[in-house]
Structure 1
Amino acid sequence: MLRFSKQIRDPVHGWIKLTSDEVELIDNSQHVQRLKYVYQLGLAYQVYPSARHTRFEHSLGVLHVSTLMTRNLLKNLERSEVKKILENLEIHDESRDGLILHVRFAALLHDLGHLPFSHSTESITIPSLVKVLNYLDGDVCRDRILFINDCLNIAKEHEWITYMTLTYNDDLLKIINETNPHINLRTVKLLLFTKIFKKLLRVEDSIRYVPDLNYLRSFEPDDFRRVELISNVLSGELDADRIDYILRDLYFTGASVSTNLTTSDIERILDNLRVINHDIVFDEKARACLEGFVIARYNLYKWVYLHHKVTLLTTLTRELVRTLITRFRDVDFEELKNYINTLARFITGQLESCEVLKITDHYLTSLLINLQLKVKNKLNYISTLIDSIIARKSTFKSLWKRDVEFLNLFEKFGYLKGLNRVIDELIDEWVRDPEQMNFFLNLFKTRLIHELQIKTSLNADLEVECINSIIELIRNDYSLIIIGYRWFEPESKISILSSDRVVSLDKVSPLVKSILDAWLISPHFFIYLNVDKLRCLNEEVMRVLKECIVSAFVNALRDYCDKYRSIASILEVSL
């Protein structure tokens, strides 16, 4: 039986209990303390002011939920199967408490790699650092940065940073060994990264950077399935991570209004957890609560994560981070140069504990304010980006905000669901490879200029001078029109046990199916105009410009998919 020495009052879960060893680690590790200063939802507080909860309380919540989930999972396993799992994970405590302790430990540390502004900068930081590797300090481990960049299709940026921190950061490893000597860090990493490790086993030379792969070389398929079963508690279709962030984000954004999902519903779901063929499924008795979970998740993605203003702030933040890293020598600001080197050391697991608190929202915000004072009237583009993020001052306006506006603009093309599927697939490509995004933007600009020229040739009543000035801006100013999106996760596929058969929830629930259908015709992206640069526009010219932008966007997608046919064929979508 686990012995708890402290209880933390949490507005989402009630009392979260901690062991004395867990408290020791939390109090003595700067890496864990850092999470108190990294907001869970990045800059979403600029739209939802109370959304200032952090990665720290989220990690505590995941620790709490994963404990409940693991206990219910173990109830579904035969003693012999549990024994094999413990052997695979190198846990020698046959009371099962050892496994639960390691799951809790992994939950507490699962978000160690999140950078300032959380997902807003996901997968843009490392590709940007690669472009300036030769200008970083000599002690930065460049090989690790290059390796991570090459493997961003295997794991997310923050997952790689978490792994590097748990593997190479001597200060953190020392604290863990002193406060929790009974914890096997390889076991923790197996719980967090087994699915990633399986993919890496096929990557040449990966063992040089991921030494834990050595242990897995002797694993049989059943060994992997057993370990993956437990790791699904932290990284599965319906896991402790998702459960906590859904509940927590609903609470702190206020998006829970009209959404009835409570901890009682989660308790009902977990009580009906079953294990079939090494997979987690849920008994149909929990169907109503599972439907409530899907509705809550849909509301969060629609009203919070993909709110048009949140998406704009995310897009501008990504552009700012990319610009500051790749052009830091042009900025001529010593503090920025030092910060980029500090960031590189953190990513590679080299940063000393005394500097870890620099990798926080608060420190970076302070640096940006100081930088803005220095570059004002010199580098206006950077100054404007900082102002947009810090003070919410932006001259960009979305072409649509509501579903009905999106439908009115795109439904005439007749394939909204196909359009969104293509966009989802391309976002994955663009985030990993910004050059692909630039290629698409060039196609889009070319198409847009062509569309506007056709309009002026066919309509003599249009203000030709105004249209021509817009065309000139499109040619020369990349900040006139921007495309905003959020790299959201794929839909979770929840399986339930219905009439002794395992089926996908959406196959037996008309409610869930209708939500998925609604999601497919909701906007997954936004197009923004810099209205400050378009002062000549009257209502008629704006209408024409909107039509041309939408038409050019769709035609550019056709052009792009013609060049990269694999995308269209994978999706079975004909644009």
Structure 2
Amino acid sequence: MFKKLDEIKVLRDPIHGYIHVEYDVIWKCINSREFQRLRRIKQLGASYMVYHTAEHSRFAHSLGVYEIVRRMIVENNDIGSTISEKDAIAVMLAGLLHDIGHGPFSHAFESICQTHHEEFTERIILEDTEVHRIIEKTQAGLSKSVASIINHTHKNGLLTQMISGQLDADRMDYLLRDAYFTGTKYGEFDLERVLRTIRVRDGIMVVKETGIHTIEDYIMARYHMYWQVYYHPTARSYEIILSKLFERLRDCEKENSKVLKEVTMFNAFIRNKDISVNDHYLMDETTCFYGFSLLLESKDEILKDLSYRLLTRNLFKYVDITNDKMKETKKNQLIKKGYDIRYYFHVDKVEQRPYQPYKGDDLSAIWIVMNNGSIKELSEASDIVHSLVHGENKNEEKMFYPVG
């Protein structure tokens, strides 16, 4: 038996109404230093440069994922009766902690520093951290179970499916939460209906055929949120300047390291080696903005300019690329104006398919249990999703550069 709190804790939430915490280990992990750090990491990175209310944090999202997982277990008899209390605790912790390894500025920081939040999430759960000590004090070996759910190695695939599939608690929370805080409607779908129509068959999560229209809405919500919010070119412009700033920091570290003495907080990430969990803990968006402010006084004009652009939203212009000649023409224009195109020109291509079917018994797919008892993969059961899967991929290629 796992220790429960004297009374259920509730946290008000605009998406779920309340977040309910019953178990002592969950409450202690929420109050750990590593989890509290997520208050200082924005959920949507640079999207607040477009949608000014998109200031919500990884902390809020992680609580939301936990709440959906908890509801799956408590309210859905197929799931609740299938897993043990230990597995229930482990998967709720996995939902709560799945993003604990995130760096600042969402996924942009990962490409900049060649780090992966999944790797740091696993390290924080397994290495000597406050979160690790809390989990292990609750039950020896529990931290390994939590990590195995997140890294897809747990023997019970249902648990991983709840956290990281194409119909999982993570996606369901961030679509609703991001739509709410961006003031858009694209990400809305009927969460209550999804939770009611989930079933378990042969150890995997499936959806009743009667719920298929709700799943189609969910897939379309993902599609529209990617193009209207996640891939918005203004946010991409901000992230490109961010990446160019760190590229310049790396070059300065090799060519003229004196200019970096005032921003030593970036050292481990510029060198991309021996990054400790404590280095990671200290690297949040507050730290980054302090570093950018210091660089306003840098003797390196490129660092000074790029920092100013980030702090004042003086972003690069973007234009759709229709032919290769456009790129060469723009590069030559920038060079004539005195810009170093290593830092002041970038081509960015994005493409997205809202649903990717998988073959065989891959648990990442969405499975539909038909009225006759047979099980079909979503794109085989839905004409709408079939057309999305077999249609042409939507993609964009833009070039980004300064004006003036």
Identify if the C-alpha distance between structure 1 residues 368 and 62 changes in structure 2 by more than 3 Å, giving closer, same or farther.
same
Number of the residue aligned with 1:478: 342
Residue equivalent to 2:363: none
Alignment map for 1:5-16 (pairs within 5 Å): 5-16=8-19
2:172 is the alignment partner of 1:233:
no
Instruction: Give the Cα separation in 1 of the matches to 2:302 and 2:262.
Output: 19
Kindly indicate which of the two structures has a greater share of residues assigned to strand: 2
Which amino acid is 2:319 matched to? L
Residue 529 to residue 475, structure 1, CA distance change in 2 (3 Å): closer
CA displacement 1:386-439 (0-9 Å, x = unmatched): 222221102x32213xxxxx8xx48xxxxxxxxxxxxxxxxxxxxxxxxxxxxx
Larger Rg: 1
- Correspondence for 1:286: 211
1:77-88 paired onto structure 2 within 5 Å? 82=82
Q: Name the counterpart of 1:387.
A: 308
**Contact 1:484–1:525 (CA<8 Å) still a contact in 2?**
yes
Structure 2 counterpart of 1:112:
100
**How far 1:5 moved relative to its partner?**
2.4
Deviates more, 1:304-313 or 1:63-72: 63-72
Distance 1:527 1:379 in 2: 25
Matched residues in 1 for 2:331 and 2:260: separation? Answer: 40
Question: What is the DSSP-based 3-state SS (H/G/I as helix, E as strand, rest coil) of the residue aligned with 1:8?
Answer: strand
| Count of aligned positions | 389
**Matching residue of 2:319:** 399
2:400 maps to 528
| C-alpha distance in 1 between matches for 2:117 and 2:200 | 30
| Superposed displacement of residue 34, structure 1 | 0.3
Match of residue 247 from structure 1: 176
Change beyond 3 A, Cα 1:387–1:488:
farther
Q: Report deviation, 1:513.
A: 4.3
1:307 and 2:235 are equivalent in the alignment: no
Question: Residues 368-387 of structure 1 correspond to what in structure 2 (within 5 A)?
Answer: 368-372=292-296, 374-375=297-298, 378-387=299-308
Provide the residue aligned with 2:148 in structure 1: 190
Given candidates 68, 71, 75, the residue that maps to 1:68 is: 71
Which amino acid in the other structure matches residue 185 of structure 1? Answer: S
Aligned to 1:505: 378
User: Per the alignment, do residues 314 and 338 of structure 1 end up closer, same or farther by CA in structure 2, a change over 3 Å counting?
Assistant: closer
Shift of 1:187: 0.9
Unaligned runs of 5+ in 1: 87-95, 128-156, 196-223, 401-405, 411-443, 453-465, 533-575
The question of 1:25 aligning with 2:13 is answered: no
Question: Does the 8 Å CA contact 1:62/1:244 hold for their aligned counterparts?
Answer: yes
How far apart, CA to CA, are the structure 2 residues paired with 1:171 and 1:17?
Answer: 22
Is this contact kept in 1: 2:242–2:310, CA < 8 A?
Answer: yes
Check whether the contact 1:167–1:349 (CA below 8 A) recurs between aligned residues: no
Aligned pairs for 1:417-428 (under 5 A) are none
> Does the aligned pair in 1 maintain the 2:113–2:272 contact within 8 Å?
no
For the aligned residue pairs, the C-alpha RMSD in angstroms reads 3.5
State the partner residue of 2:289.
365
> Matches of 2:214 and 2:177 in 1, distance apart?
17
Q: Are 1:173 and 2:176 matched, yes or no? A: no
Match for residue 351 of structure 1?
278
2:85 aligned partner, one-letter code: D
Contact 2:40 2:57 in 1 (8 A): yes
Which residue of the partner structure matches residue 555 of structure 1?
none
Cα distance in 2 for residues equivalent to 1:488 and 1:336: 36
SS in 1 for 2:156: helix
Which structure features the higher share of helix residues? 1
**Could you say if the C-alpha distance between residues 526 and 24 of structure 1 is closer, same or farther in structure 2, counting changes exceeding 3 Å?**
same
Q: CA deviation at 1:308?
A: 1.1
Q: 1:334 to 1:171 in 2, by over 3 A?
A: farther
Q: Is the 8 A contact 2:42 2:106 kept in 1?
A: yes
- TM-score after normalising by structure 1: 0.60
Q: CA offsets per residue over residues 515-542 of structure 1, 9 Å max, x none?
A: 5577723x3442224332xxxxxxxxxx
Unpaired segments ≥5 residues, structure 2: 358-365
- Partner SS for 2:100: coil
- 1:311–1:486 Cα contact (<8 Å) kept: no
The answer to whether the Cα contact below 8 Å between 2:199 and 2:206 also exists between their aligned partners in 1 is yes
> Equivalent residue for 1:161?
120
1:232, distance to aligned residue in structure 2 (A):
1.1
* Stretch deviating more after TM superposition (110-119 or 510-519): 510-519
3-state DSSP of counterpart to 1:233 = helix
1:545 is matched with none
Question: SS at the partner of 1:50?
Answer: coil
State how far apart, in whole Å, the 1-side matches of 2:284 and 2:166 are: 29
Cα distance, 1:277 vs structure 2? 4.1
The aligned amino acid for 2:158 is L
CA distance in 1, matches of 2:129, 2:57: 25
Match of 1:266 among 188, 191, 194: 191
User: For 1:323 and 1:105, how far apart are their aligned partners in 2?
Assistant: 39
Q: Is the 8 A contact 2:149 2:160 kept in 1?
A: yes
Is the alpha carbon distance of 1:486 and 1:349 closer, same or farther for their aligned partners in structure 2, counting shifts above 3 Å? farther
- Per the normalisation by structure 2, the TM-score is 0.83
- Assess, with a 3 A threshold, how the Cα gap between structure 1 residues 345 and 68 changes in structure 2: closer, same or farther: farther
The match for 1:413 is none
CA apart distance, 1:109: 1.3
Which residue number corresponds to residue 268 of structure 2? 341
Task: Check whether the contact 2:268–2:274 (CA below 8 A) recurs between aligned residues.
Answer: no
* Percent of paired sites with the same residue: 26
Map of 2:360 onto structure 1: none
